[in-house]
Amino acid sequence: MGRARAMRGVAMSILGMALSIAVTTRAEAKDGGFDWPENPFAYTLSDDLFVSADEARFEKASRVFVETMGGIPQELASILTYPISDPMTFGTYALGIGALTLADTETTTLYQKTILPLGKKVNLPKPIKGWFFTADGQYIAGALAGTYAYGIAANDERAQVAALLATKAALYSYFTSHVVLKAAFGRLRPVSDLTGPVDPKGVFSKDPFDFFKGNGVRFASHPYGTAMPSFHFTLYFSTARVYSGVYDNYLIPYGVAALLAVNSAEGHNHWVSDMVAGALIGTGIGNMVLKNYENRKRGVSSMVVPIVSSRGAGVGWQVSF
């Protein structure tokens, strides 16, 4: 009981720091006022980026591949430096995740009683049984491959761009959530029924404050100490954000993401805050991929630059037109 109280105290301290960062940064930028970050689901690519050109099929495919797959070093740097390059947005979302963590026992219990039963009714067949990818991973990979194949066959630039940018977003999701953040947080996953007994093996937990229990970086899926953030929710939302941003359509991408999330709900054992964190990270990754692609198309380049002075150290953006 004393440990739980101590962890709650630590969580409240982190929440206070996150709120302080968010309010202070926004106050400096907005003459003392505070407003929320821009709508993270609103960004779409302009239609003028997909002007039909008289290009042969594979000539266009080669050009699109170069344009979409460029900028990887800068994008990885953007991901790694995000907390200090945009502290207001980071602080705001960290505050929200921290608040959800405080309420995880109640919200996750409700999730287990209401959403998990739906997952048992939605049972999509696994395309290739016994393969490395889970069923939802295979469906996403199939959708990306199908979109790209259609784009090549129909000489459709928008379809090619959607598939390639979504592939980048999926790989960034794996690197960010599965490889880096799961190892950093080392959070235990919840038992399948928080109203039931504890896990005698200690792999799953009833305490939402069981952090820093992981065993380092894992490249394959493992149940112990890998709860936060949810990689699958990062994957769902990063790819859905790219498709919705390319096609200016929310219903289909997020409808498919919701279907896959419900279908795989039973086997993932996540706290609600894990899933929300994954969704926010995925949305941020998708937006970054979209914006960087448009900047490259319009001849705008940027890079992360370290800044060191007598007043402190940090990073800044260098933009060239």
Give, in order, the Cα–Cα distances in Å from 212 to each of 98, 109, 118, 182.
Answer: 16, 22, 31, 10
278: amino acid identity, one letter: G
Q: What is the pLDDT of residue 131?
A: 61
CB–CB of 231/182 below 8 Å?
yes
Q: How many residues does the chain have?
A: 321
Among 6-15, 30-39, 252-261, the range of highest mean pLDDT = 252-261
Mean pLDDT of 35-43: 72
| Residue 239 pLDDT class (50, 70, 90 cuts) | very high
Query: How big is the chain by its Cα radius of gyration, in Å?
Result: 21
Q: What is the pLDDT of residue 297?
A: 92
Mean pLDDT of 263-270: 80
Q: What is the pLDDT of residue 182?
A: 95
pLDDT surpasses 70 at 20: no
Q: What is the pLDDT of residue 147?
A: 98
Q: What is the pLDDT of residue 37?
A: 53
